[in-house]
Structure 1
């Protein structure tokens, strides 16, 4: 199954490692991780207004969709499998 991150970006659900709120960027550890991923070329900015960060096995996506909405979308994917 797939997860829509916004702006026509869809990723396989199985690749998602973590979804975090952009407000956690205040943490020094998170800031450092995001800076390194950007420097290494792994960061994909989907939109100007970022609400969440989706970390996958290959990239780090800066999504305009909130964590709560992404969580609901991910849960709906699992319900459709049952």
Structure 2
């Protein structure tokens, strides 16, 4: 399934490694170093018009998202719930 993470970016949910609150960058030297190294390799996609509220880490790229961690979590959980629903369409007789 796919998750819309803002700024016209849609990613596959299976590629998401972590979703982190943007305010945690300054409190963790490990996160700062990871983002610094990924920026050198041009593997960071910043938000265009909005302030970043969350960081979405995937297998290949780090995205800065204008959406909150809570909103992204709801979207990811919605996809998980939809995947678990059984398909009863073939059982219905009209």
Normalized per residue, the structure richer in strand is: 1
TM range, normalised to the smaller chain? over 0.9
5+ residue gaps, structure 2: 85-94
Aligned to 1:77: 79
Aligned length: 82
Quote the RMSD (CA, aligned, Å): 0.9
In the alignment, does 2:29 pair up with 1:46?
no
The alignment's TM-score, normalised by the length of structure 1, stands at 0.94
TM-score (norm 2): 0.82
User: After TM superposition, which residue ranges in structure 1, 4 or more long, deviate above 6 angstroms?
Assistant: none
Q: Which of 66, 69, 90 in structure 2 is aligned with 1:67?
A: 69
Name stretches of at least 5 consecutive residues in structure 1 with no aligned partner.
none
Which has a greater percent of helix? 1
State the structure with more CA Rg: 2
Q: CA deviation at 1:46?
A: 2.7
